[in-house]
């Protein structure tokens, strides 16, 4: 049900976007529901960190900028979750995660509703050859940080590397999570 609400819509027919999540239980809160977004007042909204069990992470190759991958994290759970800071990336058996790029810090935490995606750009090696200790990597594991940035939460996910391997050197870094893919690839 819910389709017989009358024709006096003021949201330009966009209510489908708000209520597209299947199995919506509850009262529907009436007129203010179309204004839902990432910057609510926090009343009654519990922020939960995304973890490897709630999202699917895919690495995609990029033609530009060169030597970059795009990580796409899609919320596969039935509830909203937050992507904090940057993903913890480890290629092969690296002891520490890839460095994060401080300049890429967004204005706000990336909040994913069910089905939405967040993005992080990964520089794998310097374009001018100035990086050192480069080698071909064949494995990538990704874990997610919690709100306090004190390590990973919820385990890690093994992510397939496009083409099976990637060249990584000491200049490699990862951006903070972004809500838009173009922001994740701007560096």
Q: Is 90 exposed, middle or buried (0-12, 13-18, 19+ CB in 10 A)?
A: middle
pLDDT at site 148: 87
Tokens read off for 82: 């937050």
Considering only residues 90 and 21, tell me which one the structure prediction assigns the higher pLDDT: 90
CA distance 134 to 170: 7
pLDDT in tens, 38-78: 444 444 567 799 999 999 999 999 999 999 999 999 999 99
Domains of the chain, first to last: 55-184 (2.60.40)
pLDDT in tens, 83-113: 999 999 999 999 899 999 999 999 999 999 9
CA distance 5 to 57: 38
Tokens read off for 31: 């007129």
Whether the per-residue pLDDT at 31 is higher than 50: the answer is no
pLDDT at site 44: 54
């Amino acid at each position: 049900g819910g389709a017989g609400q009358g024709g006096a819509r003021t949201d330009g027919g966009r209510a489908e976007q708000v209520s597209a999540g299947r199995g919506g239980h509850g009262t529907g809160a009436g007129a203010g529901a179309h204004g839902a977004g990432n910057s609510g007042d926090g009343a009654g909204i519990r922020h939960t960190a995304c973890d490897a069990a709630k999202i699917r992470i895919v690495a995609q190759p990029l033609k530009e900028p060169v030597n970059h991958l795009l990580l796409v994290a899609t919320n596969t759970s039935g509830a909203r979750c937050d992507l904090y800071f940057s993903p913890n990336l480890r290629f092969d058996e690296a002891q520490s995660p890839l460095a994060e790029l401080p300049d890429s810090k967004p204005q706000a935490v990336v909040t994913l509703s069910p089905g939405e995606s967040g993005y992080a750009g990964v520089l794998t090696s310097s374009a001018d050859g100035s990086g050192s200790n480069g080698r071909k990597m064949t494995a990538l594991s990704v874990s997610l940080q919690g709100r306090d940035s004190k390590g990973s939460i919820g385990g890690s996910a093994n992510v397939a590397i496009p083409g099976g391997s990637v060249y990584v050197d000491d200049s490699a870094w990862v951006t903070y999570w972004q809500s838009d893919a173009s922001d994740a690839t701007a560096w």
